């Protein structure tokens, strides 16, 4: 059974399969129809509206597609912490976690293996720390490249642990990028950085923004977007 719940008008929610999900309503000047997707971690439903639509249209749209939302929720991967002998996603590949008491506590990359020792009970925390360190180094390099192309000084980079967004640029002082993107292929991670750098010039998704993004990013934007759509939820599986 699906019931509508009411919060303030700007923050509608829907209850599906015993879960209460917020509905994030966004209006887009270029949208010609309503579209909907689930956040990568299943934490919210996102509905994009043409400018002429009312918020109520988003609620009706989500309600009519409740079965689709329920199927998408069921497909969200459950958190499976990494373990010795298992694998860890890194830059689009799978690294074998080679744990041994004789190895150092800090993970060390060795070809397609990640050598690590230390207490097994703290392995997940140390692997996440290692990935975050790798993410920072890669993202700082990406940011420098795209800012140079844009002819702008690089803003402060902040790693994000957001469960709903891959990147954000709220002002020109800093850019936030989700550290989990270090698990994705390089082109996917770089597409997100290029997207946020393009926002330094255009704080919207206007034709001018898309032209700037196409100028900055050297890869296939559509392919990167498809990868995130198809595989983005999996980036939350190891560390929640």
Rounded Cα gap, residues 2 and 73, in angstroms: 14
Q: Domains in the chain: how many in total? A: 2
* 43 domain-assigned: yes
Model pLDDT, residue 10:
55
**Residue where a domain stops, chosen among 24, 45, 75:** 75
Model pLDDT, residue 220:
98
The answer to whether residues 13 and 114 belong to one domain is: no
CATH number, position 91: 3.30.2010.10
* 57 domain-assigned: yes
The answer to whether residues 66 and 147 belong to one domain is: no
* 199 domain-assigned: yes
The answer to whether residues 218 and 117 belong to one domain is: yes
The answer to whether residues 159 and 91 belong to one domain is: yes
The answer to whether residues 63 and 108 belong to one domain is: no
Whether the per-residue pLDDT at 66 is higher than 80: the answer is: yes
* 19 domain-assigned: yes
Rounded Cα gap, residues 234 and 223, in angstroms: 17
The answer to whether residues 155 and 210 belong to one domain is: yes
**Residue where a domain stops, chosen among 53, 75, 97:** 75
| pTM of structure | 0.75
* Range(s) of the domain holding residue 66: 3-75
**Residue where a domain stops, chosen among 75, 97, 115:** 75
The chain-wide mean pLDDT, for the chain, equals 90
Given pLDDT bands bounded at 50, 70 and 90, which one contains residue 164?
A: confident
* 200 domain-assigned: yes
The answer to whether residues 170 and 203 belong to one domain is: yes
Whether the per-residue pLDDT at 3 is higher than 70: the answer is: no
Rounded Cα gap, residues 139 and 137, in angstroms: 6
Which tokens in the block code for residue 115? Answer: 């050598």
**Highest mean pLDDT: which range of 171-180, 211-220, 226-235:** 211-220
Phi-psi region of 17 (alpha: psi -120 to 50; beta: other; left: phi over 0): left
Which tokens in the block code for residue 44? Answer: 């919210």
Digit-coded pLDDT (tens) for 78-94: 778 899 999 999 999 99
Digit-coded pLDDT (tens) for 177-198: 999 999 999 999 999 999 999 9
The rounded percent of the chain whose pLDDT value lies above 70 is 95
Three-state secondary structure call for residue 225: helix
């Amino acid at each position: 059974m699906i019931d509508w719940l009411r919060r303030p008008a700007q923050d509608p929610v829907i209850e599906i399969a015993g879960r209460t999900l917020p509905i994030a309503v966004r209006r887009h000047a270029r949208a010609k129809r309503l579209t909907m997707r689930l956040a990568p971690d299943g934490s919210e439903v996102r509905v994009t509206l043409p400018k002429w639509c009312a918020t109520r249209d988003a609620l009706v749209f989500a309600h009519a597609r409740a079965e689709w939302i329920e199927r998408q929720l069921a497909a969200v991967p459950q958190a499976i912490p990494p373990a010795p002998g298992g694998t860890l996603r890194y830059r689009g590949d799978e690294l074998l976690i080679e744990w041994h008491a004789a190895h150092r506590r800090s993970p060390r990359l060795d070809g397609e293996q990640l050598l690590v020792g230390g207490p097994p009970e703290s392995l997940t925390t140390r692997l996440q720390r290692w990935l975050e360190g790798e993410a920072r180094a890669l993202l700082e390099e990406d940011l420098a490249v795209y800012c140079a192309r844009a002819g702008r000084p690089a803003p402060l980079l902040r790693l994000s642990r957001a469960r709903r967004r891959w990147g954000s640029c709220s002002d020109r002082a800093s850019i936030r990028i989700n550290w989990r993107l270090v698990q994705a292929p390089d082109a996917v991670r770089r597409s997100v950085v290029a997207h946020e750098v393009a926002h330094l010039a255009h704080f919207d998704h206007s034709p001018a923004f898309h032209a700037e993004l196409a100028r900055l990013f050297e890869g296939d934007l559509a392919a990167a977007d498809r990868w995130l759509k198809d595989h983005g939820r999996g980036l939350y599986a190891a560390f929640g």
